[in-house]
């Protein structure tokens, strides 16, 4: 939808700046291509957050998820994850995965509460050397 790209670019730049100095264009590029589904959460015409999903034959990945800073802590993230799970089930993949920083307490809490478990840790995964972990959930 018109305006979604600008919203995703702006929010990504803000939300992922610690991990990727080019997060805006990088996240936007993730929304292009085959097997990608992007959902934007909207309330009263205002964009609140987004999730970008990428599907392979048996596994789906949450490539990016973010909620506007002023809207966090109100269940928008949970709604986006629930939508991601719904889309993944419809697509037919067996598992949904994502990578997040090991220090990202908000994201870890959100995903653990949504039924994900830590599958493995990835030392120094991000450009600035932060460790990551891969989380997964059966569908
Ligand atoms: C991670 C993020 C998407 C969560 O979105 P949100 O809308 O704030 O999440 P919700 O309000 O749906 O919260 C769901 C759960 O997450 C956890 N959570 C959210 N914010 C938290 C915080 N500041 N501290 C601890 N736990 C938190 C809580 O367990 C919460 O459960 P509860 O509702 O039972 O309390 C949001 O913080 C964000 O956009 N962060 C920046 C981008 C990012 O880090 N993305 C993840 C990278 S993969």
Q: Which of 65, 92, 95, 94 is nearest to 81 (CA)?
A: 65
Pocket test for ligand 1, best of 16, 73, 76, 118 (most atoms within 8 A of CB): 73
Going along the chain from its start, the domains and CATH numbers come out as 4-138 (3.40.630.30)
Mean pLDDT, range 108-113, rounded to an integer:
98
Given a cut of 90, whether residue 21 has pLDDT beyond it is: no
Q: Ligand 1 in contact with 125 (CB < 6 A)?
A: no
Tell me the β-bridge partners of 65: 51
Check residue 2 and give its pLDDT: 76
Given a cut of 80, whether residue 88 has pLDDT beyond it is: yes
Place of tokens 């709604």: 79
> Nearest residue CA, atom 14 of ligand 1?
110
Q: What is this structure's pTM?
A: 0.96
Given a cut of 80, whether residue 32 has pLDDT beyond it is: yes
CB 136 within 8 A of CB 93: no
Given a cut of 80, whether residue 22 has pLDDT beyond it is: yes
Nearest-angstrom CA–CA distance, 89 and 73: 26
CB 84 within 8 A of CB 102: no
Q: Which of 106, 93, 99, 97 is nearest to 132 (CA)?
A: 99
Mean pLDDT, range 51-64, rounded to an integer:
97
Given a cut of 90, whether residue 1 has pLDDT beyond it is: no
CB 77 within 8 A of CB 84: no
Given a cut of 90, whether residue 128 has pLDDT beyond it is: no
Residues 6+ apart with CB under 8 A from 34: none
**Nearest-5° Cα angle at 79, 73 to 65:** 75
Residue 104 Cα to ligand 1 midpoint, Å, equals 9
Given a cut of 90, whether residue 39 has pLDDT beyond it is: yes
Check residue 31 and give its pLDDT: 95
Q: pLDDT tens for residues 62-85?
A: 999 999 999 999 999 999 999 999
Residue 66 Cα to ligand 1 midpoint, Å, equals 9
Backbone phi and psi for residue 4, each to the nearest 5 degrees, phi listed first = -65, -45
**β-strand pairing of 95-101 with 59-67:** parallel
Mean pLDDT, range 36-59, rounded to an integer:
97
How confident is residue 33, by pLDDT bands cut at 50, 70 and 90? confident
């Amino acid at each position: 939808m018109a305006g979604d790209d600008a919203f995703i670019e702006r929010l990504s730049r803000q939300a992922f700046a610690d991990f990727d100095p080019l997060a805006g264009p990088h996240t936007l590029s993730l929304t292009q291509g085959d097997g990608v589904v992007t959902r934007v959460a909207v309330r009263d015409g205002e964009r609140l957050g987004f999730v970008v999903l990428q599907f392979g034959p048996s596994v789906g990945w949450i490539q990016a998820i973010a909620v506007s800073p002023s809207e966090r802590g109100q269940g928008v993230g949970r709604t986006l994850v629930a939508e991601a799970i719904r889309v993944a089930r419809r697509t037919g993949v067996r598992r949904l995965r994502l990578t997040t920083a090991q220090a990202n307490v908000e994201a870890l809490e959100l995903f653990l509460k949504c039924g994900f478990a830590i599958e493995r840790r990835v030392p120094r995964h991000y450009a600035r050397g932060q460790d990551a972990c891969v989380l997964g959930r059966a569908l």
